[in-house]
Amino acid sequence: MQQFYALLKKEFYGYFHSYFALVVVFIYLLVSSGIAFYASYLDMHDTGLYALFNMQIYIQAALIPALTMKLWSEEYKSGTAEFLLTQPLAYRKPVIAKICAATMFGIFMSLLLLPFIHDSAELITLDWGNIVFAYIGLWLVIFVFCAVGSLISALNKNMISVYLLSLLSTTFLAFIPSTHFRAAYTDFLLAEIGVGDWLYFFTIGGITIFLNILVLQLRASAQKYKMPRFIAFSAMLFSGFAALCFVVYTLFEQKYDATAQEIYTPQQISRDIVKNLKKPLRIDVYISKDYVKHNIEYSRYYQQVMRFLKKYEKFSNKKIKVNAVTVEPFSKLEDIVLKSGLYYEENIYGSKDYFGAIIRNEDGEGTAIKHFFAARSQYLEKDIDTAILKLDRADVMKSIGVYLDPFQYLNDFQGFLLNLENDYNLLNFTDDVYEISPKLDLLLLVNPKKLSSEFKSAIDRYITNGGKVIILFDFLTDNQSSDVNIEHFSLLDLISSWGINFSGKIVDIAEPNIEYAPSGLPISIYKAVDFSIKDSNRSVIPLITDNHNMVAALITGKFPPLHSSDTAAEQSADAQVAVFGDVDLIIDDNWIAEQSPDKNPYDTVFKSSNIELLRNLIDRMTDNEIYFTLPVRYAQHNTFSISEKIFNRIYEQNAPDYSRLSAELIDARSDIEAGVVQNPDIITQMLQSGAAGQRISELEIETENILRKIGKEYKNDIHLLFISQVLVVPSLVTLLMFIGMFVIRRKHRKVIREFMNE
The tens digit of pLDDT for each residue in 550-578 reads 899 999 988 888 765 554 445 557 899 99
699 and 557 within one domain = no
Measured between alpha carbons, how far is residue 600 from residues 369, 371, 415 in Å?
Answer: 10, 8, 7
Residue 590: the pLDDT is: 45
Band of residue 611 on the pLDDT scale cut at 50, 70, 90: confident
Q: What is the average per-residue pLDDT within 526-554? A: 84
Q: Which of 106-110, 225-229, 735-739 has the highest mean pLDDT?
A: 106-110
Give the domain range for residue 356: 268-385
SS3 85: helix
Residue 247: the pLDDT is: 67
Average pLDDT of the chain, as a whole number:
82
- Tell me which of 222, 257, 292 is where a domain ends: 257
Band of residue 52 on the pLDDT scale cut at 50, 70, 90: very high
624 and 507 within one domain = yes
Residue 607: the pLDDT is: 64
Residue 681: the pLDDT is: 54
Measured between alpha carbons, how far is residue 670 from residues 15, 479, 502, 658, 698 in Å?
Answer: 74, 5, 23, 18, 16
181 and 95 within one domain = yes
Q: In angstroms, rounded to a whole number, what is the distance separating the alpha carbons of residues 338 and 329?
A: 11
Q: In angstroms, rounded to a whole number, what is the distance separating the alpha carbons of residues 178 and 235?
A: 16
283 and 243 within one domain = no
Residue 588: the pLDDT is: 53
Q: Is 208 within the bounds of a domain? A: yes
SS3 578: strand
Measured between alpha carbons, how far is residue 498 from residues 454, 504, 575 in Å?
Answer: 19, 17, 12
pLDDT surpassing 90 at residue 110:
yes
| Closest to 266 measured CA to CA, from 127, 382, 368, 393 | 382
Q: Is 185 within the bounds of a domain? A: yes
274 and 243 within one domain = no
What's the number of domains the chain is made of?
A: 4
SS3 637: coil
Q: What is the DSSP letter of 592?
A: B
E-strand ranges in 534-686 read 539-545, 550-557, 575-580
What is the CATH classification number for the domain harbouring 409?
Answer: 3.40.50
- 652-705: pLDDT as tens digits: 888 788 777 877 776 676 655 555 445 545 545 544 556 666 777 777 888 888
Q: In angstroms, rounded to a whole number, what is the distance separating the alpha carbons of residues 315 and 254?
A: 13
Residue 596: the pLDDT is: 45
Q: Which of 317-326, 359-368, 634-643 has the lowest mean pLDDT?
A: 634-643
Band of residue 22 on the pLDDT scale cut at 50, 70, 90: confident
- 424-476: pLDDT as tens digits: 888 999 888 889 998 899 999 988 888 888 898 899 889 988 899 999 887 66
- 305-330: pLDDT as tens digits: 999 999 999 999 889 999 999 999 98
Q: Is 390 within the bounds of a domain? A: no
How open is the CA angle 637-28-738, to the nearest 5 degrees? 120
- 701-728: pLDDT as tens digits: 888 888 888 889 999 999 999 999 899 9
Q: Which of 110-124, 143-157, 635-649 has the lowest mean pLDDT?
A: 635-649
Contacts of 576 (CB under 8 A, 6+ apart): 468, 469, 554, 555, 556, 621
- Residue 718 φ then ψ, to 5°: -65, -45
Q: Is 262 within the bounds of a domain? A: no
Residue 561: the pLDDT is: 82
SS3 330: coil
Q: Is 515 within the bounds of a domain? A: yes
502 and 626 within one domain = yes
Q: What is the DSSP letter of 726?
A: I
Q: In angstroms, rounded to a whole number, what is the distance separating the alpha carbons of residues 221 and 437?
A: 96
Residue 377: the pLDDT is: 86
Band of residue 54 on the pLDDT scale cut at 50, 70, 90: very high
Contacts of 15 (CB under 8 A, 6+ apart): 21, 67, 101, 105
Dihedral of alpha carbons 619, 623, 626, 628, sign = positive
Stretch (H or E) spanning 118: helix 114-123
Number of C-beta neighbours around residue 370 at 10 A = 25
Q: In angstroms, rounded to a whole number, what is the distance separating the alpha carbons of residues 188 and 196?
A: 12
Residue 366: the pLDDT is: 87
Q: What is the average per-residue pLDDT within 19-42? A: 89
| Closest to 602 measured CA to CA, from 348, 423, 340, 366 | 423
155 and 9 within one domain = yes
231 and 91 within one domain = yes
Residue 195: the pLDDT is: 86
Q: Is 564 within the bounds of a domain? A: yes
428 and 334 within one domain = no
278 and 253 within one domain = no
656 and 626 within one domain = no
Dihedral of alpha carbons 82, 88, 91, 96, sign = negative
Residue 225: the pLDDT is: 44
Residue 418: the pLDDT is: 74
406 and 368 within one domain = no
- 111-146: pLDDT as tens digits: 999 999 999 998 888 999 999 999 999 999 999 999
| Closest to 383 measured CA to CA, from 608, 617, 633, 602 | 602
Q: Are 137 and 198 in contact (CB under 8 A)?
A: no
- 381-412: pLDDT as tens digits: 988 998 898 888 877 778 999 998 876 656 56
Strand pairing report for 424-429 and 539-545: unpaired
- 206-232: pLDDT as tens digits: 888 888 888 887 776 765 546 666 666
Q: Any bridge partners for residue 542, and if so which?
A: 553
Q: In angstroms, rounded to a whole number, what is the distance separating the alpha carbons of residues 738 and 448?
A: 72
- pLDDT higher for 677 or 752? 752
- Residue 322 φ then ψ, to 5°: -105, 130
Number of Cα atoms under 13 Å in the Cβ half of residue 23 = 7
